[in-house]
């Protein structure tokens, strides 16, 4: 059975290590430090942790001010609050002046579960991608989160990173060759490519294993960086496998799939299908129930691949 590890905990551990190495790293939170796990940083470096209260817009504005003074601020809250409540501040205070702010948001997607639609961040990746100068990252597991946090700390410029509430299946057991803007081929194949990120990567690999039993050779790409997207990897997949399915725990409108589709259309048009949340909000429920309801499971992904290939 695949072990489950928390990306939030991986974020906290890595942030603490980076804080030991670099005194310019500061951390801000909006009354959710226990949930985002930045409380670990606060316990070790209280003078560099700023509790902003339930005031996400102010948190982002303060982070921008700290960045303008040479600090490297990490601002954390739930994904739905980081993007929806503070979008104007992200736009005008961070993206427009291209300040070195790292927004690492937890509780992304519908797997927040019983908290319901008000807390399900399903628009956040699209909103972040719409901001010029922002890098947008959705890591797949704890190991990739560690690598990604280290990478964004060294990257100069605005970053939005989405993490989940749940502990997630381990994809990278030993190491992860993470580079901003460069997709990872987790499994090679020649008949079709599944492009996924976040918690959907493990489901995509599950679908590829099922398809392999039917003799369908499936490539799986980890598109951890949604922006800037690895268009070279997308074009290579399109030309070599001839069909692409994208999978994301996000609205289809404005999400990863739409960006992949643009690259495919411009570089090497091939048949495509898109798996994600259609034009609706979800509801309160167990995470696995909600994933099933929206077709975000390995069997559903495999079914969509079979349908695509059957249509030639």
Q: Which residues are catalytic?
A: 56
Structure tokens at 72: 């490297």
Residue with tokens 């695949």: 2
| 8 A C-beta contact, residue 121 and residue 79 | yes
Burial of 296: CB neighbours in 10 Å, binned 0-12, 13-18, 19+ = buried
- List alpha helices for the chain, DSSP H: 7-21, 33-36, 39-44, 56-68, 79-80, 87-89, 124-129, 142-154, 200-213, 231-241, 256-267, 287-293, 298-310
Beta bridge partners of 311: none
- Which of 103, 111, 188, 175 shows the shortest CA–CA distance to 141? 175
């Amino acid at each position: 059975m695949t072990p489950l590890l928390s990306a939030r905990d991986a974020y906290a551990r890595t942030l603490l290590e980076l804080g030991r190495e670099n005194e310019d790293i500061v951390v801000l939170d909006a009354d959710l430090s226990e949930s985002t796990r930045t409380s670990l940083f606060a316990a070790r470096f209280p003078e560099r942790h700023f509790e902003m209260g339930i005031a996400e817009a102010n948190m982002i504005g303060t982070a921008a001010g700290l960045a303008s003074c040479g600090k490297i601020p990490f601002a954390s809250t739930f994904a739905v609050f980081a993007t929806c409540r503070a979008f104007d501040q992200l736009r005008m205070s961070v993206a427009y002046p291209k300040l070195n702010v790292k927004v690492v948001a937890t509780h992304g997607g519908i797997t927040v579960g019983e908290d319901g639609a008000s807390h399900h961040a399903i628009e956040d990746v699209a909103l972040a991608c719409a901001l010029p100068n922002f890098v947008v990252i959705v890591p797949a597991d704890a190991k990739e989160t560690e690598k990604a946090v280290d990478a964004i700390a060294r990257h100069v410029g605005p970053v939005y990173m989405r993490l989940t509430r749940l502990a997630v299946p381990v994809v990278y057991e030993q190491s992860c060759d993470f580079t901003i803007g460069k997709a990872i081929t987790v499994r090679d194949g020649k008949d079709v490519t599944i492009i996924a990120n976040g918690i959907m990567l493990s489901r995509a690999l599950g679908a590829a294993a099922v398809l392999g039993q039917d003799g369908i050779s499936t490539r799986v790409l980890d598109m951890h960086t949604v922006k800037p997207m690895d268009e070279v990897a997308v074009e290579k997949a399109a030309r070599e496998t001839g069909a692409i399915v994208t999978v994301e725990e996000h609205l289809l409108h404005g999400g990863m799939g739409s960006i992949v589709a643009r690259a495919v259309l411009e570089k090497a048009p091939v048949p495509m299908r898109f798996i994600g949340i259609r034009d609706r909000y979800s509801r309160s429920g167990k995470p696995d129930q909600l994933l099933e309801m929206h077709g975000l499971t390995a069997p559903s992904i495999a079914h969509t691949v079979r349908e695509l290939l059957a249509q030639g």
